[in-house]
Amino acid sequence: MANFETVEVTTDLLILGGGMAACGAAVEAAHWAKKHNVKVTLVDKAAMDRSGAVAMGLSAINQYVGLKDGENTLEDYVKYVRNDLMGITREDLVASIARHVDSTVHLFEKWGLPIWKDAAGKYVHEGRWQLMINGESYKVIVAEAAKNALGISNIIERVFIVEPLMDGDRIAGAVGFSVRENKFYVFKAKAVLVSMGGAVHVFKPRSVGEGLGRAWYPPWNSGSSAYFTIRAGAEMTCQEVRFIPVRFKDGYGPVGAWFLLFKSRATNAMGGDYMVERKPELQNWLPYGNVKPVPANLRNYLGMLDVMAGKGPIYMRTEEAIQKLSEAVQDPKERKKKLKELESEAWEDFLDMTISQAILWAGTNVEPEVKPSEIAASEPYFIGSHSGASGAWVSGPKDLAPPEYFWGYANMSTVKGMFCAGDASGASSHKFSSGSLTEGRIAAKEAIRYIVENNTQPKVDMAAVNALKAKILKPLDLFQEFKSASSDPDINPNFMKPKMFMFRLQKAMDEYGAGVTSQFTTNKMALEKALELLGMLREDAEKLAAEDLHELMRCWENVQRLWQAEVHIRTILFRQETRWPGYYMRADFPKMDEANWRVFVNATWNPKSGDWKMEKKPVINIVK
Ligand code: SFD
Ligand code: AMP
């Protein structure tokens, strides 16, 4: 077996991940830990300064409720999320985050994040809930606060977490490996907070060749949260609710600022506005077809109908929007100034969060004030904190959750001592960066309370740990054993490289699981075919091989993606309706069925038997 030192770390609270939720958890945990003499350790696969979805920066904070300013009520936000998710959301969780999110935004400002202000000193809104920021260094600023709070000695970077450790039905820690040194890590903890983000590259991206890693969602979030929680035996929810963002084509630049701040239209190749021309279609999706704003998936769907009818490409009418906004200024000198201002805001929107789109614009001679730019529906992603909803089924807070949604500690999964936040927790969409950090704070506070009230170190079976070590490092051994069997390191009769494995996964998901190639449409037979292919892939995962530590990480990322894929397919298969057209369509059940399917679908994998349990859970409205 590969010669790796085993490093044991014993702690009280183990925070997995170093993204928005984990940084919030670190800040909050540090406060309560001091009070209760509790040790907190954070582990990130990358460097916290630029890890996770916010690595490149962001140009907006997408959740700010403005409660104190009287801009909106808590109920307004809950209704917005409920409608956008076609009725399926945990209102207790959404409200729990929404009532604290403004304080998080104020913390961001205190930590040094520049939020746009108008002449009167008020925040500049992108839309009703969104604030504009100069956010290129957003993640660096937030990570700095987390590091200061927790102390560098309690943070371990560049360690990739693979599996949970269990003590019966209680979480006992996690294992992983360094991606820089030959070290295998064993973390023993009284509580674990999972915040390792969502998943990208489960589906075949539109990008090819050199651009393969360019997707909307940065490629390093690979389904670690889903894998970890499933393998611990946690109940998972909303695993069918993928997210398909419409984005500027090929660079995946954001559209929110264009639609909301610049009030732009998107039109098809013939100049038609699908949001106007296809409005009658919304009547097929009542009551959600009538709400404002039109739910994200239905906005997608209307555009997709145009594309399927051969009316693509779809264009963001940047030139028209800039023209209109500048023409509203009467004075010619001021108008010229305004035009320049708008042009620079347009570029900054990309430079703050999707630099590659600005590069693509520059490289393809796009002047947004002169010509429109193509937009398109991306491949599907798993990001429960955005407009998707996948994640673990967690307890709500005592004061808001009905008994069906409450089991002792807010944000604890159905596994004792395992808490989830951000993309790791499900059915509470539209948290975004600010809400994810807020949820991390909520979960950490509750995890510390759990530790104080259950203050025993769970038992860890070291024989099981050693077996995990051998399993996790096996790809390195396999490569060494068989590398001379062929002259091409990527092609070998005895093993498979992680990239090839990923291609197989993506092809199966794309063609049978409602990806881009199949126009986001699937049916029972196709889903069953996908499951068959994924089953074979699971067998072949035993043959993954890694040349070095980096590839070892790639191997496990792809195994984790595979599990995210499987739970997704199983959940789509179970839900016999189409509820989110524009995210996916079931051709065999093309309509929404409120009577039978206005429910959550939850999936649980049994670690002992390896069986899956699928069940319906009630949707309980707490806001009328
Ligand atoms: O508008 C392991 N999001 C946006 N939010 C906003 O508020 N404004 C925006 O402008 C946003 N835009 C946006 C957004 C997301 C993406 C992908 C894009 C654009 C392109 C949403 C937020 O970014 C998102 O909600 C939060 O970041 C979610 O927080 P969290 O903590 O759940 O995930 P993370 O930040 O990605 O962090 C994950 C961490 O886990 C680590 N990790 N560590 C150890 N072992 C493993 N195996 C691990 N696997 C992962 C990661 O390194 C990271 O630290 S807009 O354009 O849509
Ligand atoms: P995006 O850049 O597409 O991620 O959007 C940023 C924010 O604006 C998210 O909260 C979206 O839900 C919202 N948004 C984007 N486009 C629209 C639209 N056309 N109507 C309403 N909300 C939108």
Which of 184, 385, 553, 560, when mutated, tests ligand 1's pocket best, judged by the most ligand atoms within 8 Å of its CB? 385
For residue 3, the model assigns a pLDDT of 87
For residue 1, the model assigns a pLDDT of 64
CB 335 within 8 A of CB 326: yes
The residue annotated as part of the active site, out of 126, 157, 163, 306, is 126
- CA–CA dist 587, 589 (Å, integer): 6
Buried b (16+ CB within 10 A) or exposed e, 320-338: bbbeebbeeeeeeeeeeeb
Catalytic residue flag (residue 570): no
pTM as predicted:
0.97
- CA–CA dist 84, 127 (Å, integer): 15
Catalytic residue flag (residue 182): no
Residue 547: exposure state from Cβ atoms within 10 A (0-12, 13-18, ≥19) = middle
Q: Which atom of ligand 2 is nearest to the CA of 60?
A: 6
Task: Say how many Å lie between the CA of residue 309 and the centre of ligand 2.
Answer: 25
- CA–CA dist 356, 57 (Å, integer): 12
Is residue 380 classed as helix, strand or coil in its secondary structure?
coil
- CA–CA dist 246, 216 (Å, integer): 9
- CA–CA dist 385, 433 (Å, integer): 8
Q: Does residue 368 line the site of ligand 2, with CB under 6 A?
A: no
Q: Does residue 254 line the site of ligand 2, with CB under 6 A?
A: yes
Which of 246, 259, 297, when mutated, tests ligand 2's pocket best, judged by the most ligand atoms within 8 Å of its CB? 259
Task: Say how many Å lie between the CA of residue 196 and the centre of ligand 1.
Answer: 9
Q: Pick from 21, 67, 12: which is nearest to 439 by CA?
A: 21
Catalytic residue flag (residue 612): no
Catalytic residue flag (residue 126): yes
Identify the structural domains of the chain with CATH numbers, from first to last.
246-377 (3.90.700.10), 470-597 (1.20.58.100)
CB 222 within 8 A of CB 44: no
Q: Which atom of ligand 1 is nearest to the CA of 160?
A: 45
| CA-to-CA dists, residue 147 to 20, 28, 40, 392, 598, angstroms | 13, 12, 12, 27, 43
Catalytic residue flag (residue 433): yes
Tokens of 55: 């690595």
- Protein residues whose CB sits closer than 6 Å to any atom of ligand 1: 16-22, 43-46, 51-54, 58-62, 160-161, 195-197, 216-217, 220-221, 224, 254, 256, 353, 385-386, 422-423, 432-434, 436
Amino acid at 159: V
Task: Say how many Å lie between the CA of residue 207 and the centre of ligand 2.
Answer: 23
For residue 210, the model assigns a pLDDT of 84
CB 5 within 8 A of CB 405: no
The residue annotated as part of the active site, out of 102, 349, 511, 566, is 349
Task: Say how many Å lie between the CA of residue 218 and the centre of ligand 1.
Answer: 8
Task: Say how many Å lie between the CA of residue 381 and the centre of ligand 2.
Answer: 16
Nearest ligand for residue 63 CA = 1
Q: Does residue 299 line the site of ligand 2, with CB under 6 A?
A: yes
Task: Say how many Å lie between the CA of residue 471 and the centre of ligand 1.
Answer: 29
For residue 211, the model assigns a pLDDT of 86
For residue 541, the model assigns a pLDDT of 98
Query: DSSP string of 484-523?
Result: GGSSSTTEETTEE-HHHHHHHHHHHHHHHTT-TTTTTEE-
Q: Does residue 177 line the site of ligand 2, with CB under 6 A?
A: no
Q: Which residues of the chain have pLDDT under 70?
A: 1
Q: Whose CA is nearest to atom 15 of ligand 2?
A: 256
